[in-house]
Structure formats: C-alpha cells, structure tokens
Amino acid sequence: MSKTRVRYAPSPTGPQHVGGIRTALYNYLFAKKLGGDIILRIEDTDQSRFVEGAEEYIIESVNWCGFDFDEGVHKGGAYGPYKQSERKDIYIKYSQQLINEGKAYYAFDTPEELKAKRIEAEVEKSTFKYDYLTRGSMRNSIVLSADETQKLLEDKVPYTVRFKMEPGQNIIVDDMIRGKVRFNSSELDDKIIFKSDGMPTYHLANIVDDHLMKISHVIRGEEWLPSSPLHIALYQSFGWDIPKFAHLPLLLKPTGKGKLSKRDGDAGGFPVFPIEWKDSQTGDVSKGYREEGYYPGAFLNIMALLGWNPGTEEEIFNLKELVEIFDIKKVGKSGAKFDPDKARWFNQQYLSKMPNEEIAEEIKLDLEKREIFTSVDLFAVAVQMKERVAFVKDIYSSAKYFFETPTEFDAKIVRKKWKDQSSQIVKGLIEVFESVKEFKADFIEDGFKKYLNEKELGFGAAMISLRLSITGTGGGPSLFNIAEIIGKQETLKRMRENPERINDLKT
Ligand code: GLU
C-alpha cells in the first residue's frame, strides 16, 4: 500500500481561526496514526486576497500547539515548491492539456457580458449558470472557429479557461465521515480553472498539487464538499487516482446557530484565533488563546474534541495519546458547537496537573508584569490556588491578598456577615496568633479552635470575621494556610488594622 500523505492547504488571506487549526490537527492525527506524512501547502492563487504575515502565522500557531508538518513552505521536501504562486508553470501545462483534449475551453466573455447574462436571468427569476445548456450561446472556443480563437489569443484578448462539465453523470464522493454523497453533474457549472490574471483557480491548482504531491487523503472543512464533485471530475479527466475524502463538520457559534466567527469571539469575550493577530492595515488586534494564558496542551485538547470524541467519558489527552486513539470515522457529521466555558475547563484541568514549581515561576512572571515584587513563597501559593482558577493570571485577581494588604473588603459579605462583635473576636485572636508555637497552619488552627472553645464562640462567625480581616474576601483556600504563607507579621498587622476599616464601612 502506498504511504499515507495528507496536506493542510490554507489560503494566506488572514489569521487562521480555530477551525483551520482543527483541520490541520485532524490531518496530523490521521497521518501519524498510519505512519504517514503531513504537508503544509500554501494556496495563494488568489493574489488579491493575500495578507502579509498570514503564512508565518499558520506555522507559528501550529508549532505553538506542539506539532509540525513533515514537508512544506518552511522546511522544503521532495515535492516542492509548496507555495502555489511558485508553481504557475505547472498549472499552465495541465490547463493546456485539458484544452488540447477538449475537456476545457477558452472563454472570452467580458465581465460586462457576463453581468448582462446574469441580469437577464434575474428578470426571468432564474440564475445564470455557465454550463452545458448555456455555453453554446457564449463567446468561447467551443462556439468560435479555431481561427477566430487563435486570433483572439494572438491579440491578447483576456480570457479564462473553463472546465467542460459533462452533463448526465452521477458523481459520487465517497467520504470517510459522510459515506457516499451523490451529485448530478447536470447541476454543476463550467467552473473557471484558469483566470485572466495568468493564475489557476483553487480548483485546478488544488487537484494538480494533490496529485503531484501524492496526497492519499484529503481532509478538509465541510464548506469544500460542494467543490468535490468538480474535483473528482477533474481527476477523472486527467485519468488520475482519486484520493479519499473526509469533510469535517463546521464549527458553530456557542448557541449552535450559524458558523463560528470572529464577531462571536468579540461579543462573547473569547478568542477564535490560536495566537494573537495584529492587522497591519487597521491595527486591530484579535485575541489569541496563547496570549489569554491557555496552555498549548489544553488548546490542542480543545481542538481535538471539537467534532470528534473517542466514544468514552475520557476527555483529557495529550498529542501522543490522540495519535493512538484518533479515528476519523468517529468524527461527527453535524456542526460542532464551540463552548468557551468548556475551553476554560480544559485549561483548568491542565493547570491543576502542572508541577507547582512551574506554576510558581508563572506566577512570578505574572506578578512582575504587574510590577509586584513579593517575598511570599509562590510554590505554596501555587499549591493553594491551582485547583481554584482556570489561568495563572487569575490567581492575582482572585487572591490579591497573598501579595498585598487588602484595602478593599467585599461589601456584600461585610453587610451580611460582619457583626458588632466581629472586631472583638479578631482582636481577641491576635494574642492567640502571637503566641502559637510556630507560625504554621496546623498550630494556628489549633490555637484558633482552642480559643473558640474557651470563649464559646461559633466557628462560622469567627472564621468569616477573621477571613474578612486578613483577606478582604469571603472565600478562598484555608485561612490558616493563607496566614502561614503571608507570615506572622503581616497576618497580625492585618488583624490589628483591618477590623477598624471594616467597622468604618458599616457605619
Ligand atoms: N485553500 C483551501 C482553504 O483555504 C483548501 C481547501 C482544501 O483543503 O482543499 O481552505
């Protein structure tokens, strides 16, 4: 059996959104499971839509996720060049071959003539289609004599090359996900395969390259399914083997209604791009998962489960595990809803399993960015917080009290829980805290409990009063651990000063 070779073939028209990354990943998983290769091919035949930096963006995004291509623009390979704009001569040759064999033809219709046809059809409440029914009434090399055509070509009259779609054929796309999808060629038009600007269209370039690059499986987004009968007809015209197809389900908005777009991300406050993208024209910045603080492994895991699942309850997989269990047949047919909350959940799962040393280092960097320099033991903070947040950057926002004396106190908790006797309780505890044998969570807790017993004070009321005084909040990890981490001096300082501040808030 020949080697499995797949390709990811993006057009560099802007940043690849998560859907593109998922396509690249599924191609990678599919190939690697079968010991095959994945190729990165840049499909830049539409020069008018070319965006500077888009190609580099794709490579950087995929590399950030933790995988790479075996061949491509960035690393070469035996089937290059891997950029379509550098393969023009190849396409000219194949386009010419189809013309010579009568399977394609020159079309000299001007944009104005085509527009007139469209308007004419609209008046009759139909749509103009350049196909086997209409091609005989157009200005093309089927209608014109050989001499006339030759003359127009010599005069350099602009032309396109159209594929002559034969009617009455049943074209079957045998899709690995969808099964057999049938198309009637009479409903298809004569697509342009070569444009007047001297470049091929996507259709011709795509199939010529897939053939020459020995692509065995074409795995791409559902939006390309309608193009696949044309691709099959082109393969047949050349007499080439047809690769196997798989069309991946669309990524849908969180509501499930419609395709996921950048606008959904902006409105919902979540990125739809793997890494940040800055538009060089407008200066607009589109958020990226990387910059939002997602771990690459978590992002990869999110992508993998968008439309595929292994059929078990398990959801956490690294790349190696994914390669082992990925099965294209288990990819769903219907659109996959993008769930930003679930995305956060994945990151939380990864964060909670990270080594504390690494989290501590990340906290340090995060604090430095905020110009906060602290002497507290960040390893200990990591232990206390890693199960409680989805991102390291949230440690500061949800537990500032580790690094700063609180100056604000949760108003709602103060209103509900801070009672007349609260400051007395906290003050009474100062002596207890001062005299614990060692300022460690266990000893502090013992002292606290003994004092409560002696004074016959309720645990809940004493705890919330103390917590508000030390942290300014009503929740968080064990208060005794917090006290140990911020240290004796700082804890006592807060117990001395803050009850008054909270009292002031009540009045
Ligand atoms: N250039 C197409 C794109 O931008 C590739 C489609 C395909 O994979 O055939 O998605």
- 3-class SS of residue 36: coil
0.85 surpassed by pTM: yes
Query: What are the tens digits of pLDDT across the range 212-240?
Result: 999 999 999 999 999 999 999 999 999 99
Residue 54 alpha carbon to ligand 1 centre in Å: 14
Bridge partners of 183, per DSSP, are: 171
Q: How far does CA 26 lie from the centroid of its chain?
A: 13
Closest ligand 1 atom to Cα of 23: 8
pLDDT for position 314: 95
- 3-class SS of residue 495: helix
Single out the catalytic residue among 33, 262, 488, 493. Answer: 262
Q: Quote the CA–CA distance of 60 and 43 in Å, as a whole number.
A: 17
Tokens of 330: 């288990």
Counting ligand 1 atoms within 8 A of each CB, the residue from 40, 201, 202 with the most, and so the one to mutate, is 202
Closest ligand 1 atom to Cα of 206: 9
Counting ligand 1 atoms within 8 A of each CB, the residue from 7, 43, 216 with the most, and so the one to mutate, is 43
CA-closest residue to ligand 1 atom 5:
9
Q: What does the DSSP assignment read for 396-431?
A: HHH-GGGTS------HHHHHHH--TTHHHHHHHHHH
Task: Provide the terminal-to-terminal Cα distance of the chain, rounded to the nearest Å.
Answer: 83
Write the Ramachandran bin of 456: left for phi over 0, alpha for psi from -120 to 50, otherwise beta.
Answer: left
Closest ligand 1 atom to Cα of 20: 10
- 3-class SS of residue 295: coil
Is residue 262 annotated as a catalytic residue, yes or no? Answer: yes
pLDDT for position 1: 65
pLDDT digit string (tens) for the chain, length 507 residues: 689 999 999 999 999 999 999 999 999 999 999 999 999 999 999 988 899 999 999 999 999 999 999 999 999 999 999 999 999 999 999 999 999 999 999 999 999 999 999 999 999 999 999 999 999 999 999 999 999 999 999 999 999 999 999 999 999 999 999 999 999 999 999 999 999 988 999 999 999 999 999 999 999 999 999 999 999 999 999 999 999 999 999 999 999 999 998 888 888 889 999 999 999 889 999 999 999 999 999 999 999 999 999 999 999 999 999 999 999 999 999 999 999 999 999 999 999 999 999 999 999 999 999 999 999 999 999 999 999 999 999 999 999 999 999 999 999 999 999 999 999 999 999 999 999 999 999 999 999 999 999 999 999 999 999 999 999 999 999 999 999 999 999 999 999 999 999 999 876
Counting ligand 1 atoms within 8 A of each CB, the residue from 206, 248, 251 with the most, and so the one to mutate, is 206
Q: What does the DSSP assignment read for 209-238?
A: HHHHTT--EEEEEGGGGGGHHHHHHHHHHH
- The closest alpha carbon to 246, from 333, 335, 169, belongs to 333
β-strands 336-337, 179-184: how paired?
unpaired
Tokens of 305: 């489960």
Size (the chain), residues = 507
How many H-runs (helices) and E-runs (strands) does the chain carry? 21, 14
Closest ligand 1 atom to Cα of 210: 9
Residue 208 alpha carbon to ligand 1 centre in Å: 13
Residue 184 alpha carbon to ligand 1 centre in Å: 23
Q: Quote the CA–CA distance of 66 and 302 in Å, as a whole number.
A: 13
Counting ligand 1 atoms within 8 A of each CB, the residue from 5, 8, 11 with the most, and so the one to mutate, is 11
Hey, CA dihedral for 304, 309, 312, 315, is it positive or negative? Answer: positive
Residue 164 alpha carbon to ligand 1 centre in Å: 22
- 3-class SS of residue 142: coil
Task: Give Cα separations from 498 to 163, 405, 441, 460, 467 (angstroms).
Answer: 80, 9, 21, 19, 11
CA-closest residue to ligand 1 atom 2:
10
Q: How far does CA 378 lie from the centroid of its chain?
A: 31
Which residues contact residue 375 at a Cβ distance below 8 angstroms, ignoring those fewer than 6 apart?
A: none
Write the Ramachandran bin of 476: left for phi over 0, alpha for psi from -120 to 50, otherwise beta.
Answer: left
The H or E element spanning position 6 is strand 5-8
Closest ligand 1 atom to Cα of 8: 8
CA-closest residue to ligand 1 atom 3:
10
Residue 91 alpha carbon to ligand 1 centre in Å: 17
- 3-class SS of residue 392: coil
pLDDT for position 506: 77
Closest ligand 1 atom to Cα of 231: 9
Bridge partners of 285, per DSSP, are: 278
How many percent of the chain have pLDDT more than 70?
100
Pocket of ligand 1 (CB under 6 A): 9-11, 43, 202, 206, 220, 224
Residue 187 alpha carbon to ligand 1 centre in Å: 23
Residue 327 alpha carbon to ligand 1 centre in Å: 22
Give me Rg for the CA atoms of the chain: 32
β-strands 160-163, 192-194: how paired?
antiparallel
Residue 107 neighbours by CB distance under 10 Å: 22
Residue 269 alpha carbon to ligand 1 centre in Å: 28
